[in-house]
Chain A
Amino acid sequence: MEANIPNTGSGRVRAIETDRVVKTFGPVRALRGVNLAVESGESLVIFGPNGAGKTTLLKIIATLSRPTSGTLRVFGSDPFADGRLRRTLGVVSHHSYLYGGLTAVENLVFAGRLYGVPDARARADALLATVGLAGRGHDLVRTFSRGMTQRLTIARALMHDPPILLLDEPYTGLDRHAAGMLTALLERLRGFRTVVMTTHSIEQGLALADRMAILVNGILAYQGTDGLHSAQAAERLYLDCVGGNGSIPREAQVPDTA
């Protein structure tokens, strides 16, 4: 299985590449020809207002949604043709993917086994320690607070040690402490993992970005490193793309979540 997955950070093969990806929902084009390339080991942050298509784009990269036209390549292959490539992806979305009726350890081991992790139990214990939940492994997830659940969500996404991490608004609903923990965790992975993160918080995004992209109304309006040096520069760039006052001239919003 691992044969066609190169080591992380080698920089040889592009981790993610989309070619003219279009996604339509009924008559609405949520993505209008997105060309995106993410190198191995790179952290890309995608900014954009609500309804811009950020979640849709991430769902396509995660193979949860098929592009209407255009192609997706993960490490050079089509993940829709070869489902085993999903092993290279770790996803943190708006939802936890956790079962409230299972304990933290059971949730992680369940995910680990289905990802084909050799010693899922040991891996689960190690990750629980990493995210500061070592003492709570045998409690039902239902009893967890929002912050704890989010930390466990991240542990679940890392169970199979994926070379690519896809994070959709991971800071939403996190308190200061949990947000700090997430940033520290992502800092540690930086350079070793390919990260694609969407956010509308410019500050949190800039802290982790090697490169930024701005998605507006289904179009990748900007890709590059120009705005990375300061929050003001990024903000200006963002407003240029979004259009002056930050509103987008679009009446029908695409259902972006769920």
Chain B
Amino acid sequence: MKTRDWRAAVIALGGILAVTGLAMATLYAPEEKTMGDAQRIFYLHVPSAWIGFLAFGVVFVSSIAYLATRRRAFDLAAAASTEVGVVFTTLAIASGAVWGRYAWGTWWSWDPRLTTTFMLWFIYVVSLMVRAYGGTGNQPSKFAAVLGIVGFLDIPLIHLSVVWWRSLHPLPVVVRPEGFGSGLHPAMLQTLLVNLAAFTLLYVALFSIRRAQMTAMDALVTRRDESYQPAGVDLPAASLEVR
């Protein structure tokens, strides 16, 4: 009961912030000079990308914890975060492409950040594949954990190599995303921050709901499976606790 209340509060707060963020993005934030209204996708794009990387960080930490302790709870946390991460990374790439269409005049450019995010998306998807088609016993979980660790450490190297690669080539044209941040209009910054907060709460809510679902599914399988009790055997507390 208590966890559900806590989750409901997060969802409610996240919902309010999301609506506020949307209103601010469309009504409050000023129009950007070069790109016009198309720039407003920025308030969706940046938070999505942030969640994509945040989720990957959670996968990394959970994966290490799982390999070190072999506790099922960490494996489920990594699985839940991977699923949520895929959704937001997809959103980030799609909105990035739209952004690119207006900023650079092309749907896709080998911008280091976009490329790195794209590779991140690949690693997430492969991780889902490993979980779906993995081997026997706990191997799918172990493999996904290894991938969670290797992938996380690989991301900075991918980013560095793309940066180095692009530095030998001229960048596409027009506006570079580097222009933002420092030169951001205060109203733009406020809108971005509200949206970042909304997305973060949304991530926390989705992540914990998905994790709770997975834990419940585990408990169901365990209960169905352990209906058998041989006569005269003392079971050491065969409860429903899930490891």
Is A–B contact present in the complex under a CB 8 A cutoff? yes
In the complex the two chains form, is A20's CB within 8 Å of B70's CB? Answer: no
**Complex contacts, B138 vs chain A, CB 8 Å:** 24-26
CB distance from A56 to the nearest CB of B (A): 8
Q: Whole-angstrom distance between the alpha carbons of A249 and B228 in the complex? A: 6
Checking A22, A219, A240, A252 against B224 with a beta-carbon cut-off of 8 angstroms, the contacting residue is A252
**Any chain B CB within 8 A of the CB of A217?**
yes
**Complex contacts, A69 vs chain B, CB 8 Å:** 243
**Any chain B CB within 8 A of the CB of A190?**
no
Q: Whole-angstrom distance between the alpha carbons of A27 and B216 in the complex? A: 10
Give the number of residue pairs across the A-B interface with Cβ within 8 Å: 72
**Any chain B CB within 8 A of the CB of A211?**
no
In the complex the two chains form, is B225's CB within 8 Å of A250's CB? Answer: yes
Given A27-B221, A32-B226, the answer on whether A221 and B233 have CB atoms closer than 8 Å is yes
Binds A, one of B53-61, B117-125, B234-242: B234-242
**Any chain A CB within 8 A of the CB of B136?**
yes
**Any chain A CB within 8 A of the CB of B137?**
yes
Q: Whole-angstrom distance between the alpha carbons of A236 and B233 in the complex? A: 17
CB distance from B228 to the nearest CB of A (A): 5
User: B38-78 CB contact bits vs A (8 Å, 1 = yes)?
Assistant: 00000000000000000000000000000000101000000
In the complex the two chains form, is B218's CB within 8 Å of A27's CB? Answer: yes
Q: Whole-angstrom distance between the alpha carbons of A25 and B235 in the complex? A: 19
**Any chain A CB within 8 A of the CB of B141?**
yes
Q: Whole-angstrom distance between the alpha carbons of A181 and B137 in the complex? A: 34
**Complex contacts, B231 vs chain A, CB 8 Å:** 240
**Complex contacts, B218 vs chain A, CB 8 Å:** 26-27
CB distance from A24 to the nearest CB of B (A): 6
User: B133-174 CB contact bits vs A (8 Å, 1 = yes)?
Assistant: 000111001000000000000000000000000000000000
**Complex contacts, A252 vs chain B, CB 8 Å:** 221, 224-225
| Interface residue total, chain B, C-beta cutoff 8 A | 26
**Complex contacts, B20 vs chain A, CB 8 Å:** none
CB distance from A205 to the nearest CB of B (A): 19
**Any chain A CB within 8 A of the CB of B222?**
yes
In the complex the two chains form, is A27's CB within 8 Å of B238's CB? Answer: no
Residue of A nearest to B71 (CB): A68
In the complex the two chains form, is B137's CB within 8 Å of A255's CB? Answer: yes
**Any chain A CB within 8 A of the CB of B181?**
no
In the complex the two chains form, is B228's CB within 8 Å of A217's CB? Answer: yes
**Any chain B CB within 8 A of the CB of A3?**
no
In the complex the two chains form, is A32's CB within 8 Å of B243's CB? Answer: no
**Any chain B CB within 8 A of the CB of A116?**
no
In the complex the two chains form, is B221's CB within 8 Å of A219's CB? Answer: no
In the complex the two chains form, is A248's CB within 8 Å of B136's CB? Answer: no
Checking B70, B219, B235 against A219 with a beta-carbon cut-off of 8 angstroms, the contacting residue is B235
**Any chain A CB within 8 A of the CB of B36?**
no
**Any chain A CB within 8 A of the CB of B3?**
no
User: A20-46 CB contact bits vs B (8 Å, 1 = yes)?
Assistant: 101011111100110000000000000
**Complex contacts, B219 vs chain A, CB 8 Å:** 27
**Any chain A CB within 8 A of the CB of B94?**
no
In the complex the two chains form, is B236's CB within 8 Å of A29's CB? Answer: no
Given A27-B222, A32-B238, the answer on whether A248 and B228 have CB atoms closer than 8 Å is yes
The 6 tightest CB contacts between A and B, nearest first, are A27-B218, A221-B230, A33-B236, A27-B221, A25-B137, A255-B136
